[in-house]
Chains A and B, each alone.
Chain A
Amino acid sequence: DTAVSQTPKYLVTQMGNDKSIKCEQNLGHDTMYWYKQDSKKFLKIMFSYNNKELIINETVPNRFSPKSPDKAHLNLHINSLELGDSAVYFCASSWSVSTDTQYFGPGTRLTVL
């Protein structure tokens, strides 16, 4: 009965590789998000989708590509991984794009070696 789930929980990979992180929510929400938390715990939004449509795309390198196959899923694909991509990535969801409470997943810790 997990609300927002992410896989994998940990991801260790080499520079230059391509990897994906998956997110699923079973709350029936229309809107999903990706946030990045750096080593100093600073959190910043990367993307948001509403009903599979991209709403927010912050200044994120185009190596990062979100994909939303349906409104319950928002995956994050990262090409040509760099050391600076090491972080914890959080997925979140909310009922809509208005100022609704966002519910966060447990996070995926990505380590690029």
Chain B
Amino acid sequence: GDSVTQMEGPVTLSEEAFLTINCTYTATGYPSLFWYVQYPGEGLQLLLKATKADDKGSNKGFEATYRKETTSFHLEKGSVQVSDSAVYFCALSEAAGNKLTFGGGTRVLVKP
């Protein structure tokens, strides 16, 4: 079945540091890929998505590129802020039923 693996946290960074969260997936077909973010005490918000190979999703300074050859969708941000402290989830969805399969989440803590 489908699965998503992302790096375990917590990831602790200083403000303005570069952030990378690795995400790899296993899927039988051609999934859409997503990054969701969960701020403390809140629900999940879509951060960005990509629907086909080589697509780049971007939002709020975050970027991720759909790499079919390496089955990866790594999240990057060039200069993090304290407000980026959250749990980040990589996820995939295949057409059959649009079931989201999530990775385990990566907690990011940005210190001033």
Contacts and interface: CB of A to CB of B under 8 A. Distances in A.
Interface of A: 31, 33, 35, 40-45, 48, 55-56, 90, 92, 94, 96-107
Instruction: Give the interface size class of chain B.
Output: 20 to 34
Contacts, number: 62
B43 A56 contact: no
Interface stretch (B12-20, B60-68, B73-81, B94-102): B94-102
Contacts of B102: 42-44
Interface of B: 31-32, 34, 36, 38, 42-46, 49, 51, 87, 89, 93-95, 97-102, 104-105, 107
A39 B92 CA distance: 22
Nearest to A105: B43
Contact of A55 (B38, B95, B97, B100): B97
